[in-house]
Amino acid sequence: MATDAVSELMKETDRHMLEAIDATKREFGLIRTGRANPAVLDRVMVEYYGEKVPIKHVATISTPEARLLVISPWDKAMIKPIVGAITSSDLGLNPQTDGNLIRVPLPQLTTERRRELARMAARKTEDGKVEIRNVRRETVEKLRAMEKSGDVSEDDRRRLQEQVQKITDAHIEQLEGMHESKEREIMTG
C-alpha cells in the first residue's frame, strides 16, 4: 500500500472539508441577526480614490450596543460615500452621521424576516454539505484509481472508504451544529 500517497490524500480530504465548513461560517457571518455584527457590512463597497473597496478598508467598525454599529472613517471625506453606500445597499439600514462618526441602528427583525433568514442559513448549510459530499466523492474516485493501478488492495480501499465516510459524517454533523446555533441566534436575537 502506498502509505504516503494515501496519508496525503486523507489529509487533503480533511482539509478540503474544513474549508467548506469555514466558507459556510463566513456565509453565516453575512446573515444579519438581531445583534450588531460588523460582518454585515462586508459586502457593502464604497468608492475610494476611484476604486470600490469594503467599508472596513476605509474605517473602523465597532458595536458599542447590541443593535448599533458605529463606523469611524479614517478620512472625514469618506463619511458621505459610506452613508450613500449603506443606504443604497439591500440591507435596509438607515445610517445617521454624528460629526465624525456614522451610527447605523439595526432595526428589530420581523418574524417573517427571521424565517427568511433562517431559510437562507439552511440553504448555506446545504451548500456546505454538498461541498463536503463532493470532496468525499472525489476522494473515493481517487481511491478506486489507486486500487486499479495496484497502489492499494481492494480491502484497503474499502477500509479507507469507510474512514472517508466517517470523516464526512463528522464534518456534516459539525455543519448541522453550526446551523442549529445560527438558527437559534436568528430566531431569538
Model pLDDT for residues 104-149, shown as the tens digit of each residue = 888 777 888 888 888 989 999 999 999 999 999 999 999 999 999 9
Q: Tell me the average pLDDT across 52-60.
A: 89
Cell 445560527 sits on residue: 182
**Topology (CATH level 3) of domain 3-30+110-188:** Topoisomerase I; Chain A, domain 4 (1.10.132)
Residue 106 and residue 108: Cα distance in Å, rounded? 7
CATH code given to domain 38-105: 3.30.1360.40
Confidence of residue 44 (pLDDT cuts 50, 70, 90): confident
pLDDT tens profile 3-41:
788 889 999 999 999 999 999 998 888 776 667 778 888
CB neighbour class for 33 (10 Å; exposed up to 12, middle 13-18, buried from 19): buried
pLDDT tens profile 69-84:
899 999 888 889 999 9
Domain range list for the chain: 3-30+110-188, 38-105
Domains 3-30+110-188 and 38-105 share a fold: no
- pLDDT on residue 1: 52
